[in-house]
Amino acid sequence: MSFAQAIVENVLKLAEEKGAKKVSKVLVEMGELLLINPEQLEFCFQVASSGTIAEGAVLELEFIKPHIECLLCGKRYDEPIAICECGGIIKVEGGKDMVIRKIEMEV
């Protein structure tokens, strides 16, 4: 819910600056490691935006994969683990950001 609230607050702030009457779509890039359930976030977004000019806006989510790589052999993984098959330490980068990329609004 706090993620949804933060999105709505930021969207409304920018929409106000642009003199928008209505927000119709919001594109958010989300790190996979935030482990956000998209349906839950969409539901919370609808709740948090109700009664505002962003009510009914479409929330589009784009998930960004983290970069997970063994420091020793360079093997890449999809899921974060600590130790590679070769015994090397795994480095995990990214996958925890949440960035509002685009907002579609009516002015």
Partner 1 sequence: MHRIEVDAEIDVLEANRRLAAENREFLKKHGITAINIMGATGSGKTLLIEKTADALGDKVRMGAILGDVVGKADYERVARHGVKAEMINTGKECHLDAHLIHHAIEKFNDVDLLLMENVGNLICPVDFDLGEDYRVVMVSVTEGDDVIEKHPEIFRLADVIIINKVALAEAVEANVDKMVEDARKLNAKAKIIKMDLKKDVGFDEWLEWLQEVMSKQNGR
Type of residue at 4: A
Pick the closer one to partner 1 by CB: 35 or 51: 35
Helix/strand/coil percent split, the chain, to 5: 30, 35, 35
**Contact between 24 and partner 1 (CB under 8 A)?**
yes
- Minimum Å gap between C-beta 90 and partner 1 is 8
Whether the CB-CB separation of 2 and 36 falls below 8 Å is answered with: no
Instruction: For tokens 């609004």, name the residue.
Output: 105
| Among 54-62, 69-77, 95-103, the segment contacting partner 1 (CB under 8 A) | 95-103
**Contact between 78 and partner 1 (CB under 8 A)?**
no
Task: Round to whole Å and give the CA distance between 105 and 40.
Answer: 24
Q: Residues interacting with partner 1, by CB under 8 A? A: 1-3, 6-7, 10-11, 14, 18, 21-22, 24, 28, 33-35, 79-83, 89, 92, 96-107
